[in-house]
Amino acid sequence: MEISRNVTILVVEDHPLFRQGVINALSLESEFQIVGEAADGETAWMLIRTLQPTIAIVDINLPVLNGVQLSYRVAQEKLSTRVILLTAYDDKEQILHAALAGACGYCSKEIEPRQLIETVRQVVLGNYVLQGQVFSPKEFMVWLNQQMGKNRPLYSEPGSPFHPLSDREMEVLTCMVKGMSNKEIALALKISHQTVKNHVTSILRKFNVEDGTQAVVYALKHGWVNLQSSDKSLQE
């Protein structure tokens, strides 16, 4: 499939070897131009706003700002960049999170290079590609509405059905991943114990899980946090 215009691409992946592999594969296509790369979501966000690439290929599980959150920012800012997410965890619930956040593509990291190239081309043309299935914009909305009907208990809050955690909830969640108690979280974040409990309750509700352990497992599996995340935010 030929594309009439030059396609600029940003590659965002925190593992250097995998990132370089994606860059090498895409660089073989004459109509693709790699204009930047990043190892974390915050850097990627700055590059997207500066470079305004046609496509951003983004790992879901990133330090600082994960791929789903990055997709949501791009969508909320109504930027022209279309995001394709790559993930090591290929499950239906995560696909729905990605779609609701504004991602236009969702691929397993096991994808073949030719399939990734074809995914980029389809997304450039305005289509959506989820697990190798191509949707026109109209077909995508039909699919999304069907999925929302099946999973309504997970997205029952008013307003936009996709609700990423607030900045404070992300801080609390990061502390939970580190195994900190509510009291320790309160001291680290300089907030009251009751406030911590309120945030934890909100996190459990948004993740649709019953306890903190399940929330941590869910967050790690879906890329909301990274075990190697920096402690910088807790030290400021």
Q: Which amino acid is at 60?
A: I
User: Which pLDDT score is estimated for 115?
Assistant: 96
Residue 161 lies in a domain: no
In this structure, are 117 and 35 located in the same domain? yes
Average pLDDT, integer, range 19-42: 95
Query: Percent of the chain at pLDDT above 90?
Result: 48
Domain boundary among 80, 115, 150: 150
Q: In the predicted model, is pLDDT for residue 235 greater than 80?
A: no
User: Which pLDDT score is estimated for 90?
Assistant: 64
Domain of 12? 7-150
Q: In the predicted model, is pLDDT for residue 127 greater than 60?
A: yes
Question: What is the chain's mean pLDDT, rounded?
Answer: 84
In this structure, are 123 and 197 located in the same domain? no
User: Which pLDDT score is estimated for 226?
Assistant: 65
Q: For residue 48, give the CATH number of its domain.
A: 3.40.50.2300
Tens of pLDDT, residue by residue over 129-145, are 998 899 999 999 998 88
Tens of pLDDT, residue by residue over 183-224, are 999 999 999 888 898 889 888 888 878 888 888 888 777 766
Q: In the predicted model, is pLDDT for residue 162 greater than 60?
A: no
Q: How many domains does the chain have?
A: 2
Q: In the predicted model, is pLDDT for residue 151 greater than 90?
A: no
Query: Percent of the chain at pLDDT above 70?
Result: 84
User: Which pLDDT score is estimated for 156?
Assistant: 38
More confident residue, 56 or 92: 56
Residue 213 lies in a domain: yes
More confident residue, 165 or 171: 171
